[in-house]
Amino acid sequence: MLKTAPVLSADQLSIARLVPKGSRVLDLGCGDGAMLDYLIRERGCTGYGVEIDDANIQACVARGVNVIQLNLDEGLAMFGDASFDVVLQIDTLQHLHNAEVMLRETARVGRTGIVAFPNFGHWPNRLAVLRGRMPVTKVLPYQWYDTPNIRVGTLRDFAALAQKNRLNILDSFGLQDGQEIRFWPNARASRAVFKFQHG
């Protein structure tokens, strides 16, 4: 294990607070494993990350975090029903071809799901589109032609998708510079966060 604890961003810390202490966690698209490492050290959690990228797999192993190399577009057949307390999908959903299937899978595998993604409804994004251009921001830093974000949606879009899939939304809010935005989050927050359960 790395000697030093990972440093999370203010947004990540807000999401980490949603994970109950001692949870068994599956982190889909876990990146370099920093969040999972933090949850293990600071919140007494256990679990696994899932990643597709070779360098991230290496980074997770170097941290001593359990990681499974898997393409999420191939589904979560490896994981049993309700086999985790919490399944995280942080900045992952927007890269998936089968985003809806994965949302259902997240609810199947986890007793609780937590999804965070860039909120396209944030007012600077709306303004950019009003001006006739796709937004380029801190949370959506790519040009329209090279973005890996193949799904762009808003807080309200996600709420509708959750309802369509009969998920119970336990909590939802926006995140802006680490602050939880609960009043008019769809316009005021660059990131959307949902905590939900199987309906």
Partner 1 sequence: MPGFLLFAVLFRPFILLVAKPQSMHFADALPLQSGASIRAYDLTYETYGTLNAGRSNAVLICHALNASHHVAGVYVDERGVELPKSEGWWDTMIGPGKPVDTDVFFVIGVNNLGSCFGSTGPMQVNPDSGEIYGADFPVVTVQDWVQAQARLLDALGIQTLAAVMGGSLGGMQALSWTLQYPDRVRHAVAVASAPNLTAENIAFNEVARRAIVTDPDFHGGHFYRHGVLPQRGLRIARMIGHITYLSDDVMNEKFGRQLRQAVVETAGLEASPADVPARAAAYRYSTQDVEFQIESYLRYQGDKFSEYFDANTYLLITRALDYFDPAGEHGGQLARALAPAKAKFLLVSFKTDWRFSPARSREIVKALLDNQRDVSYAEIDAPHGHDAFLLDDPRYMGIVRSYFESKVAPC
How many residues would you count in the chain?
A: 199
Query: Which one, of 199, 193, 25, 16, lies nearest residue 115 by Cα?
Result: 193
Q: CB of residue 67 vs partner 1: minimum separation in angstroms?
A: 5
Residues in touch with partner 1 (CB under 8 A): 1-2, 24, 46, 48, 54, 57-58, 60-64, 66-70, 78-80, 83
Instruction: Round to whole Å and give the CA distance between 83 and 75.
Output: 15
The conformation of residue 8, written as its DSSP 8-state character, comes to: P
Q: Which is nearer to partner 1, 51 or 91 (CB)?
A: 51
Q: CB of residue 153 vs partner 1: minimum separation in angstroms?
A: 30
52, 25 contact by CB (below 8 A)? no
13, 90 contact by CB (below 8 A)? no
Q: CB of residue 58 vs partner 1: minimum separation in angstroms?
A: 5
Q: Which is nearer to partner 1, 85 or 91 (CB)?
A: 85
Q: Which is nearer to partner 1, 69 or 163 (CB)?
A: 69
Q: CB of residue 61 vs partner 1: minimum separation in angstroms?
A: 4
Per the DSSP assignment, residues forming a β-bridge with 180 are 175
DSSP-based three-state secondary structure for 111: strand
Q: Which is nearer to partner 1, 36 or 159 (CB)?
A: 36
